[in-house]
Structure 1
Amino acid sequence: MSKLDGNERWKTKMVLTEHVDQYDQEIKAEGAGNKILTVEERTMVRDLILLPYIETMVDKSLREIELSGSILKRAYLMAGQSIQRRITQDTYQLKKELKQRNIKVVPDEQEEFLVYHKIFCRGRQERFGLTRDVMRTEISLRLTQYTAELGMTLKNHFK
């Protein structure tokens, strides 16, 4: 049953049967979820949007550390570079996975508190927005995760 069943105006329009069939197939396909983003794909898009911001923050911190006179400067730089490599790997994997799923993310516009991106997903276009507060929170959580992973790696290495 399509959305047009029961609509009296639809019955008075001249439409070729193949167009009606095509419309019905599109509705069924959307219902199956193959054209709209899944929750997992939305999470991947969000992460792909946030990772360049995280990389910029880590890069800025590394430049500040290089200028510092700390005796642990070398250790901090190595840790930061390790996190930076992990961010680059994650960005590459996300781009690869989204490309396989036929999803493309393009920056759109920035308003005062919102950052928008256009998502081209399997022939459809969608607008995806993130507030700056959400971005800050997610970036903080992600940096904490990267730091914890590095800590676990070091801890396991020195056991």
Structure 2
Amino acid sequence: MSKLDGNERWKSKMLMTEHVQQYEQKQGTEGRKMITVEERTMVRDLILLPYLDTMVSKSLKELELSNSILKRAFMLAGQAIQQRIMQDTYQLQKELKQHNIRVLADEQEEFLVYYKIFCRGYQERFGLTRDVMRTEISLRLTRYTAELGAGLKNQHLSS
């Protein structure tokens, strides 16, 4: 926002339409090059989903070795969650590709994991702490479990 925005005196000044169009085009292209909050959230989710998939896979392998009487039910639930993770990963990859955004792993430090984001000609470094990753993964797993439970409950009620 410039100093002149909101100043009513400047509204009456004449501008050539070609200058207005050039200004609007420049503002439009500049604004689209930077990554938006929504796109940053998609990048974060795309980074976290493989970790979540790995965790679910480990749990499924542990379940295979268990002697629980609910082993089959837990295996089916885990596989359903894993399928949903794959669908979400595919959808995020597709959306980010449409937005011309690529994400590559960069480096890992003790408590931070860095990624490079290539967004419409710009490059940005994106870091996540392990604590944030754990929290976000836990929230996402809780959401998947709740969705699965709601789906089973609705299916049970409709039968």
TM-score by length of 2: 0.81
How far has the Cα of 1:30 moved from its partner?
7.3
Runs (5+) with no aligned partner, structure 1:
1-23
Return closer, same or farther for 1:133/1:96 CA change in 2, 3 Å cut-off. same
How far has the Cα of 1:28 moved from its partner?
3.5
Count of residue correspondences: 135
Runs (5+) with no aligned partner, structure 2:
1-21
Q: Which residue of 2 aligns with 1:58?
A: 56
Q: Which residue of 2 aligns with 1:80?
A: 78
Return closer, same or farther for 1:130/1:122 CA change in 2, 3 Å cut-off. same
Q: Which residue of 2 aligns with 1:110?
A: 108
83, 94, 97: which one aligns with 2:95: 97
Return closer, same or farther for 1:144/1:111 CA change in 2, 3 Å cut-off. same
Moved over 6 A (4+): none
Q: Which residue of 2 aligns with 1:7?
A: none
Distance (Å, rounded) in 1 between the aligned partners of 2:36 and 2:144: 25
Distance (Å, rounded) in 2 between the aligned partners of 1:111 and 1:96: 29
SS at structure 1 position matched to 2:96? helix
The residue type paired with residue 89 of structure 2 is T
Distance (Å, rounded) in 1 between the aligned partners of 2:34 and 2:146: 34
RMSD, aligned CA: 1.7
Q: Which residue of 1 aligns with 2:136?
A: 138
